[in-house]
């Protein structure tokens, strides 16, 4: 069954094969390949067909030419061409040429990934065209170009599958669905071992099949009509060539022909960047565009505009210049690992690779075959509560990528095993440097750098993460990891929760670490981002004093750090608070700013505490709050 036909249950399929990946791009004069390239490299499985939807937008104003397609004007132009000027048929010819040139540039990727691409040109008469197509099959991934913002909104409203928007090869994950699993997906879980060597693209994410008849939307009729116009199995034949000199087989698959059209620069719209002149569409699109783009568009290179060249991003610099461990790349979804892969990476979870024991399991150091050093966190035996926390951590971390936040590289779900794979941070956690015996005491510059960097990471989680406010709920020195250059990274999201617009939510149990819990959280179980601000204030006091949040070996009245320090902070008693290990080597201005900031953060009233963006500015000396 090809793309023009529908199965009996109303779902589209391709040659009898289900496609779980849809890539949608907007048909403009600059068609980027970023979304398709990302999907091929990250989510398409071997042997799978990726559906490329090229959506031609409509315009309500008759004064505007559809899609911005240039009008034809010439003395020798036939009446037929004049009547077709700027019509849907003309647009499809031109779009198909551009898209096939784009696909030819990705042929190598398709061969390596063993993936085929089916292209369909559709007329987006209504918003929701992509969502309607996704409902026709068991779509697991919808990958959209950055220009498809309205379609992305419709997909978020109508679908439950994974949704990603790609901008300049950088993906933004709008939804990562790990919680719900259909019967089909559950039965397929044991097969994950056999396909685990691919990364996230081999994860059996939920097969979401929303119930929708073909008549559910008015778009369906338009879609069915358009589907008969363009259906290209681009990589089925090894004879496919990189230029647009199509072979007979490909030509026969097109129910429309491509003729020689002329484009008059003088008749194009003034705001148009690209003026086209006469060329045959049978020649190379890349050469054709190079020869005919107006010289007035000097700010862009044609290859950049239609993304025909293969740009492989360079490896990111190492996180630490001392140990030079390979850093993971930003913008990639987490990978799926098999248990045997992680067992091999950690030498069988040997004692020599043991790093720490947390409330949710042990952490081990490991090295992947590509040289990436990792930290593998073993969750205890799975339970309903444990699985909820596991999924929460995966979702929170996969959506949070910042230079001061520990990056999630991947995870493992096998039998009852649940493991998380992080980037490895080389110099341990802050607590071992503050009051551990195995390290030299931190100098003041390092403490200031750690405070500012950790504040940046927490501000990102609260105020800048694209999925909303993420409340950490266990902010303490053990969960601030540092490099040899004392660059801090906020980690361990085992307790993290997404918080909608900063609203409070009632928890059935209070979880966190004694000494860092905000009073309102400990008393009522109600948690907001202000609870994290309180915990961060405690960390600031620890950086200033070198003391633990709770130390039963201290004299009575000094065992709880915040209660002992609160009045001293308000009095600005630097000499009584400052860590004696600093030997008076510190910046008095920075110490006073940190003390003032800590005093505000540990206010008993959560409404009196500053936001993390304000905390950061105070630490950097930009503002002073009372």
- Active centre residues (catalytic): 474
Cβ-based burial of 523 (10 A; exposed 0-12, middle 13-18, buried ≥19): exposed
Q: Are 542 and 477 in contact (CB under 8 A)?
A: yes
Here the tokens at position 8 are 């009996």
Here the tokens at position 402 are 């910042």
> CA 420, 425, 426 angle in degrees (round to 5)?
135
Task: Round to whole Å and give the CA distance between 429 and 293.
Answer: 56
Strand (E) or helix (H) holding 588: helix 588-601
Here the tokens at position 53 are 């939807």
| End-to-end Cα spacing for the chain | 70
Here the tokens at position 126 are 């209504």
Q: Are 67 and 28 in contact (CB under 8 A)?
A: yes
Task: Round to whole Å and give the CA distance between 313 and 324.
Answer: 19
Tell me the backbone φ, ψ of residue 9, rounded to 5 degrees.
-85, 5
Task: Round to whole Å and give the CA distance between 61 and 46.
Answer: 44
Task: Round to whole Å and give the CA distance between 320 and 335.
Answer: 23
Task: Round to whole Å and give the CA distance between 162 and 178.
Answer: 9
Task: Round to whole Å and give the CA distance between 617 and 375.
Answer: 32
Cross-strand pairs, 497: 471
Question: Residue 595: left if φ>0, alpha if ψ -120 to 50, beta else—which one?
Answer: alpha
Task: Round to whole Å and give the CA distance between 566 and 76.
Answer: 87
Strand (E) or helix (H) holding 530: helix 529-545
Task: Round to whole Å and give the CA distance between 23 and 37.
Answer: 10
Here the tokens at position 115 are 């993936």
Question: Residue 371: left if φ>0, alpha if ψ -120 to 50, beta else—which one?
Answer: left
């Amino acid at each position: 069954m090809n793309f023009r036909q529908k199965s009996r249950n109303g779902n589209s399929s391709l040659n009898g094969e289900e496609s779980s990946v849809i890539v949608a791009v907007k048909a403009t004069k600059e068609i980027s390949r970023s979304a398709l390239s990302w999907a091929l490299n990250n989510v398409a499985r071997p042997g799978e067909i990726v559906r490329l939807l090229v959506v031609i937008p409509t315009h309500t104003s008759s004064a505007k030419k559809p899609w911005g397609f240039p009008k034809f004007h010439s003395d020798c132009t036939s009446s037929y061409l004049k009547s077709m000027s700027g019509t849907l048929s003309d647009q499809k010819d031109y779009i198909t040429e551009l898209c096939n040139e784009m696909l030819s540039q990705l042929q190598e990727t398709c061969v390596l990934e063993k993936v085929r691409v089916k292209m369909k040109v559709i007329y987006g008469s209504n918003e929701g065209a992509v969502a309607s197509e996704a409902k026709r099959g068991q779509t697991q991934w919808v990958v959209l170009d950055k220009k498809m913002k309205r379609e992305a909104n419709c997909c978020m409203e109508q679908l439950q599958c994974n949704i990603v928007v790609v901008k300049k090869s950088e993906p933004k994950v709008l939804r990562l669905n790990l919680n719900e699993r259909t019967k089909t997906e559950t039965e397929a879980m044991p097969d994950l071992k056999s396909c685990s060597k691919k990364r996230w693209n081999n994860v059996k994410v939920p097969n979401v099949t929303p119930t929708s008849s073909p008549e559910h939307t008015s778009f369906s009729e338009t879609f069915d009509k358009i589907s008969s116009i363009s259906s290209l199995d681009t990589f089925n034949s090894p004879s496919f060539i990189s230029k647009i000199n199509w072979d007979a087989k490909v030509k026969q698959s097109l129910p429309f022909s491509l003729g020689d059209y002329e484009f008059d620069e003088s008749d194009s719209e003034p705001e148009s960047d690209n003026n086209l002149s006469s060329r045959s569409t049978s020649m190379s699109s890349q050469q054709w565009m190079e020869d005919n783009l107006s010289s007035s568009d000097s700010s862009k290179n044609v290859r950049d505009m239609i993304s025909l060249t293969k740009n492989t991003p360079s490896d990111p610099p190492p996180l630490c210049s001392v140990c030079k461990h390979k850093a993971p790349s930003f913008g990639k979804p987490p990978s799926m690992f098999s248990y045997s892969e992680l067992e091999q990476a950690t030498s069988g979870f040997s004692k020599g690779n043991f790093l720490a024991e947390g409330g949710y399991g042990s952490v081990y150091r490991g090295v992947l075959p590509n040289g990436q050093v990792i930290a593998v966190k073993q969750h205890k035996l799975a339970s309903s509560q444990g699985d909820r926390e596991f999924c929460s951590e995966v979702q929170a971390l996969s959506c949070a990528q910042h230079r001061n936040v520990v990056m999630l590289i991947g995870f493992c779900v096998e039998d009852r095993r649940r493991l998380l794979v992080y980037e490895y941070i080389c110099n341990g956690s802050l607590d071992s440097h503050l009051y551990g015996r195995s390290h030299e005491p931190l100098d003041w510059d390092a403490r200031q750098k750690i405070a500012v960097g950790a504040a940046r990471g927490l501000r990102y989680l609260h105020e800048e993460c694209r999925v909303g406010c993420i409340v950490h709920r266990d902010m303490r020195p053990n969960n601030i990891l540092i490099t040899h250059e004392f660059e801090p990274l906020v980690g361990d999201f085992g307790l993290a929760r997404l918080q909608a617009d900063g609203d409070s939510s009632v928890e059935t149990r209070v979880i966190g670490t004694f000494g860092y819990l905000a009073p309102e959280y400990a008393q009522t179980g109600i948690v907001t981002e202000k609870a994290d601000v309180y915990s961060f204030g405690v960390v600031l006091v620890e950086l200033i004093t070198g003391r633990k949040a709770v130390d039963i070996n201290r004299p009575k009245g000094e065992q709880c750090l915040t209660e002992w320090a609160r009045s001293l902070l308000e009095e600005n008693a630097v000499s009584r608070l400052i860590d004696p290990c600093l030997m008076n080597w510190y910046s008095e201005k920075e110490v006073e700013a940190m003390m003032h900031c800590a005093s505000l953060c540990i206010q008993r009233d959560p409404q009196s505490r500053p936001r993390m963006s304000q905390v950061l500015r105070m630490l950097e000396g930009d503002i002073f709050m009372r």
